[in-house]
Amino acid sequence: MAKALAIRTLFLVIVIGFIIFFTLIAFWHWMNLQEGQTNRYACVIKYQNYCLRCIQDNSCPMDWDTVAPANCEQFDITEPSLEKCKEESELPGE
């Protein structure tokens, strides 16, 4: 009886180990996919944040290529100049 219980326990430990292992592998791959995705919304936020820093410092920080996400050019979003940021930030009537 004790031998059968030990075999069942060992089997359960192995099955649980496999489940945890494959869950961690799937989660790892999912996390890597999240980091690599570039979408238009993320690029617009990058553009707006960059412009805010340009206007606050009155000069652009020149770190467009190092800030994630990369490849925003595929959405026709490129590094703005200080003048372009100031033009876009003006409200009507100012």
CA 86/CA 80 separation, integer angstroms: 10
What pLDDT, on a 0 to 100 scale, did the predictor assign at position 61? 87
> Which tens digit of pLDDT belongs to each residue from 33-85?
666 567 888 899 999 999 999 999 888 888 898 888 888 888 899 999 999 99
Residues 6 or more apart whose Cβ sits within 8 Å of residue 67: 46, 49, 50
State the chain's mean pLDDT as an integer. Answer: 85
Greater confidence (90 vs 53) lies with 53
Candidates 47, 68, 67, 50; CA nearest to 59 is 50
pTM: 0.59
